[in-house]
Structure 1
């Protein structure tokens, strides 16, 4: 081969590798970061909507029951619900020992199409996730395009903070993972003190402005932008709570029935 032909071919090969690498990086950037949360339960309708967000016909959905202390009752309920759905159900416990968990949490969670976090104690769940490095894994999952979801504690955890019953006696502010900006308040009209206390704490600056949801109302985010508001009935609603001229403002969001 002539020297000039070798140089030309080597240059073409290098350019080809560079383009392939850039295409791969571009594809990675195209992954849509998805979070779908509700104010309360995770019934059949809600999970069917979650399934639709994965874009898969038979998605792998991992149940993460840390806020409920890996409750066997909740785990059993998940597998019962899953029998009626086109899903491959998994569960990832956190209360485990090295004898019980032979693989890193990351190996399971990053193979999923969606991760469903239960309600329960937000404060305790976050502490355990951080101790085990699961907070980092969940961020990787989000960046990879795995749908993150959950009701109640499983909704608060994705925000910077939220109004929670995680501590004894009173509702208090708790810190979340911070994937979504602002705060979150679930069970907005179900629990008598929630709404009034949330509005008061936002107005006083003890909680960041954010979103509140009734039981079956849900919010779907792509990246950090709210893309869709859903509900199962006309009574349950979702709200955006902001501050204007030092006063709290509650705005009901337009929603669609599922």
Structure 2
């Protein structure tokens, strides 16, 4: 069946995940402003991030929490571990972090090229991403690709996360697309590849490092670049699934 719709994951698929760099920039800025030790702040942030994600990560991505709830919790934990728990300092750290993310979440060099090429071929283009609705849409705006999608679906919109098949079915319905004529593209094998295949879609695994697939019995196309998606669409589907 000819490919009529292509859906993309966002983080580490269309844009680089700039969270770690945003943390480094925030730590350096706090150090410069207040005479703190940037390396010590970064060390405190490692465990704080793990604890914050375990506590709030799932709820944050499902949508009931504010966009800044997770970074605020992580920076509160970080600064408390560093011995600086003042609320105004936490507010400052969150503002610095969110400002840094608007710069560090950048598109891969081929992202706009591939999205524009698909649209030029008459293929509908959608986004399916896990994360708070406004937060994820903000990344699209920061990366300069917000207007290149016919549909944007976030887990925050629905309250459910990939790889739940209902996320993919909702996206397919939004573009009035048949699963057999649709492709989903993403870097997370479980969330993007397995989820899409269970929904009856074709899948492209964005495997920039050339890693071995976690499972060998899930049909997919192994792509080193987003440009490989254009070949899949040109072939009308996955002629050589792996």
TM-score when normalising by structure 1: 0.30
Using CA pairs under 8 Å that are at least 6 residues apart, name the structure with larger relative contact order, 1 or 2: 2
Larger radius of gyration: 1
TM-score when normalising by structure 2: 0.31
- Bigger proportion of residues as helix: 2
